[in-house]
A and B are shown apart, each in its own frame.
Chain A
């Protein structure tokens, strides 16, 4: 009943291997953008200006609660309307980077909130400036509680990269679609893509758990 062709499988494997590299690259770049932008957003919610804080919060909430695939289309198509042409890669990285930045902003926020209030007050009473309070006192203590969330979303962004195929980023899903369109065979490419994702995300999840334990051990947190 199942008409699986091994010769065809071997034929398409090299293409899928290259596409796997693209998928990993997209996930890494997107995650790097999200790590930095997310932190900026989390810190921007704690400025002395209440209206600005509320605006940032609502913006993050809006990005978080709307579909990534819609945001990908939005970034890709709205630029040209105003004369800005973005390549699929650029548009894709902006969209997925901003989307995950909104998730990571929440992770950072939770971690920052978990730093005891006394730490802020002590820094203030010692006349330590805002920059050193953040970088020397608050953020180092926020690392450990942030790690589990950061790990989960690292695996999450990997599994969301297939969405970038809709604007033509040549990652795994896009390549599998192209193979299917050329050969009229969908069984092998789509099944292989599923297997490759399984092979990528299970070790990634295990690695995230390992790093979580290591960070806790290094910081002397007993868990």
Chain B
């Protein structure tokens, strides 16, 4: 069987896999970004217990590994009375894990906003909320965006682990096709290329575009 025949025969299943991977990645990205914002800002909160809470979350999720967390959420959490179906468990685990890494990134980006901006906002008597939302965060977003892009590629790669709890993503499809045809190089090789295309020719250009748009809106020449 030539590789072209292999592709024609299995293209629909690979396509289904890509769709599930994309769904997992988008849902996990939304969750990770939300967690990163909340935890990252809490780490800078003026109230110490809030800082500790966010710090514990970040250390706990960065200190254990994603696969361990995924299995824990899927196999152990039901014993404690919280049952998630495999699709939900998948993106929740990926989102929570990458959110912890993102929190450090948010913290770094907020701290990287020049001091003068904080002082100017204070001098103009802006309320702390207004200062954060209108002055600091927009600049922090511009500073943190490239690193956030790298995080999103990590996240896309991380979603491949959900195949291990039988979510039918691209990785899972590749494994199934390998199991039924024994054409390992074709099955896994095709999946490798598809992940590569998603990361390098979809995700990366999208983030670059976002960076350029933002730079224009901030009045900087990129």
Contacts and interface: CB of A to CB of B under 8 A. Distances in A.
Contacts of A65: 153, 157, 195-196, 199-200
Interface residues of A, number: 41
B166 interface: no
- The SS class assigned to the B binding surface is helix
A198 B195 contact: no
B161 A70 contact: no
Nearest to B174: A70
Interface string B68-89: 1101100110011100000000
Contact of A193 (B68, B157, B185, B189): B68
Contacts of A180: 75
B68 A66 contact: no
A200 to B, nearest CB: 9
A86 to B, nearest CB: 12
B175 A73 contact: yes
Contacts, number: 113
Interface stretch (A7-15, A74-82, A210-218): A74-82
B178 interface: yes
Interface stretch (A38-46, A112-120, A123-131, A157-165): A157-165
A168 to B, nearest CB: 13
B164 interface: yes
Contacts of B66: 159
Contact of A70 (B72, B153, B192): B192
Contacts of B164: 69, 166
B196 A159 contact: no
A2 interface: yes
B182 interface: yes
A94 to B, nearest CB: 14
A163 B69 CA distance: 12
A221 to B, nearest CB: 22
